[in-house]
Chains A and B, each alone.
Chain A
Amino acid sequence: GQQVMQIPQYQHVQEGEDFTTYCNSSTTLSNIQWYKQRPGGHPVFLIQLVKSGEVKKQKRLTFQFGEAKKNSSLHITATQTTDVGTYFCGPDSGYALNFGKGTSLLVTP
């Protein structure tokens, strides 16, 4: 499977600021998944997006799947220190996509 490009690789924000990470693929995906890994922990599933243009929300987290199903984003509104961790996109259910390198988020109070 191919690996997606995730940007940024690192992000440091003040608590209360917003945060966005982007996941870009050169090929069309069947779907995409997002995972969060806390420092010292293991990846935990957050959400799966399937439909073109799909938008899903989980409290302060908003996930989007691009119209062409080649990119996705995760937006966190008003970050909290509990949001600290690395956010990964991938893989898709066709196993065509490996995990990206992730975006590491640091939130300072």
Chain B
Amino acid sequence: EAGVVQSPRYKIIEKKQPVAFWCNPISGHNTLYWYLQNLGQGPELLIRYENEEAVDDSQLPKDRFSAERLKGVDSTLKIQPAELGDSAVYLCASSFGKNIQYFGAGTRLSVL
């Protein structure tokens, strides 16, 4: 069984540029999470989807961040425009309901 797939693995952009991350969850997992992880910190939830509905986006900086999960499967997280402080690892995870979360390898973003 394939795990959670994220792309790209690495992204380097200049500040003020847009960037997008893609996540394909484990087949059958209806809940999808986007996390931000800074060095030496735990994952911080940005948004949680149940199917195609964003049920918790309270920590998503909506002025520059957006996310979508149109068909309740794949999801995209976008930042526009990126700032220096956005440099971090962006993790996607999925679960079946309120169960164990399985994480993807993450996208490491560097904003120059």
Which of chain A's residues has its CB closest to B58's CB?
A1
Q: Hey, which chain A residues are within 8 Å of B25, CB to CB?
A: none
Contact-residue size bin, chain B (C-beta under 8 Å from the other chain): 20 to 34
A15 to B56, CA, bound (A): 42
- When chains A and B are docked, how far (Å) is the Cα of A65 from the Cα of B100? 17
How many A-B pairs have beta carbons closer than 8 Å: the answer is: 44
Interface of B is mostly: loop
Which of these, A95, A100, A102, contacts B48 with CB under 8 Å? A95
Q: How far is the CA of A3 from the CA of B42 in the complex (A)?
A: 10
Return chain A residues, CB-CB under 8 Å to B93. 43
- Measured as residues with beta carbon below 8 angstroms from the partner, the interface class of chain A is 20 to 34
A95 CB contacts on chain B under 8 angstroms? 48, 56, 98
Contact partners of A45 in chain B: CB under 8 A:
100-102
Chain A 21-40 per-residue mask, 1 if CB under 8 angstroms from chain B, else 0: 00000000000010000000
Find residues 42-60 in chain B having any chain A CB closer than 8 Å to their own CB: 42-45, 48, 56
Report whether A100 and B99 are in contact in the complex, using a CB–CB cutoff of 8 Å: no
A43 contacts B43, CB within 8 Å?
Answer: yes
5 sampled A-B residue pairs with Cβ under 8 A: A33-B100, A42-B91, A45-B100, A45-B102, A99-B43
